[in-house]
Amino acid sequence: MAKVSIGGQAVIEGVMMKGRSVYAVSVRKSNGTIETDVQHSTSVMDRIKVLRWPILRGIATFAESLVLGVKTLSFSAELYGMEDEEEKPSKFEIWLQNKLGDKGEKIIMAITMFFSFVFAIALFMVLPMLISRLFRHQVSSSFVQNLIEGIIRISIFLMYMKLITKMKDIERTFQYHGAEHKTINCLETDKELTVENVKACSRLHKSCGTSFLFIVMIMSILVFTLFTTQILWQRTLIRILMVPIIAGLSYEFIRWARKSPDNKIADFLSKPGMWLQKEFTTIEPDDMQIQVAIEAVKGVLENEPTIK
């Protein structure tokens, strides 16, 4: 089998796998069958060459992952049958449908993404900064202030992860997350994609989005240390504006770590993210969940022009 780079994510009762130019979403429907949907996907980096530059490619990849993630989650929910077919659309949805037709769904998705992004920035960037300012009269060092802010940010993140793992639906999603990792690890070691082979593989992966988020937390401490202003609005604005840069830098680290599996430094710096996966975001999947992940990978392998 030719070497291929595939990434993915867990969705509602399924897995999405993405190659260079196609992605496949496999979902086990409520009737027990597996349905796979394959779509072609062109990266903005193929159209705008400058976005292939270091840092910028991380920002572009992060944005595209958010869009694709929301899209495939919505699709999997519909396919699984979680949405009540008899539920009447809201007046706002009817208005959008009448005014914009099919574009209305895209607008709703954009609004959902916007508020999700605002919530994440407020919870993980702005709130830790505001809490850390309670110590500004006791701590004069900007470096120590940023360090305290970083510790608070990581603590909030870990508490958030702990809380959502208590939800039953999230627990199943994390099982599919484990199935996704196991299947990718099986593929990357050139083993045949069978349930038994996949089960024997690790549920952890250095390129996981969970590891990425943890690296973002660490990277934010380093980046914000460069800014020493004590003016509240300036500190808040810096934290908001620097999010894309931090995401770009974090992507470069994850990319380097994935390409340097035997590098001891990369291995050491990857351990916190791997621990986070092990403790929170991946759970050992069952055979049926592994089957879904395998079907998603096959959907990519069978339709990706560059790897046929």
The rounded average pLDDT for each run of 10 residues, N- to C-terminus, in the chain (308 residues) is 74 94 93 92 90 93 89 84 53 64 68 85 93 89 88 93 88 95 94 96 89 88 85 91 93 84 77 90 96 96 73
199 part of a folded domain? yes
Report yes or no: 186 and 203 within 8 Å, Cβ to Cβ: no
The 10 Å Cβ neighbour count of residue 94 is 12
Q: Which of 224, 223, 300, 307 is nearest to 38 (CA)?
A: 300
25 part of a folded domain? yes
Domain encompassing residue 276: 7-307
160 part of a folded domain? yes
Taking the model in full, what pTM does it have?
A: 0.85
The pLDDT of residue 308: 45
2 part of a folded domain? no
What is the domain count for the chain?
A: 1
Q: How many Cα atoms occupy the beta-carbon half-sphere of 36 within 13 Å?
A: 21
Q: Residues with Cβ < 8 Å from 96, sequence gap 6 or more?
A: 104, 107, 108
133 part of a folded domain? yes
Partner residues linked to 15 by β-bridges: 10, 26
49 part of a folded domain? yes
Q: Alpha-carbon distance 183 to 301, whole Å? A: 13
257 part of a folded domain? yes
Q: What is the 3-state secondary structure (H, E, C) of 176-189?
A: HHHHHHHHHHHHHC
Q: What is the 3-state secondary structure (H, E, C) of 212-272?
A: HHHHHHHHHHHHHCCCCCCCHHHHHHHHHHCHHHHHHHHHHHHHHHHHCCCCHHHHHHHHH
Q: Which two tokens stand for residue 291?
A: 């089957």
Q: Residues with Cβ < 8 Å from 276, sequence gap 6 or more?
A: 161, 210, 211, 214
30 part of a folded domain? yes
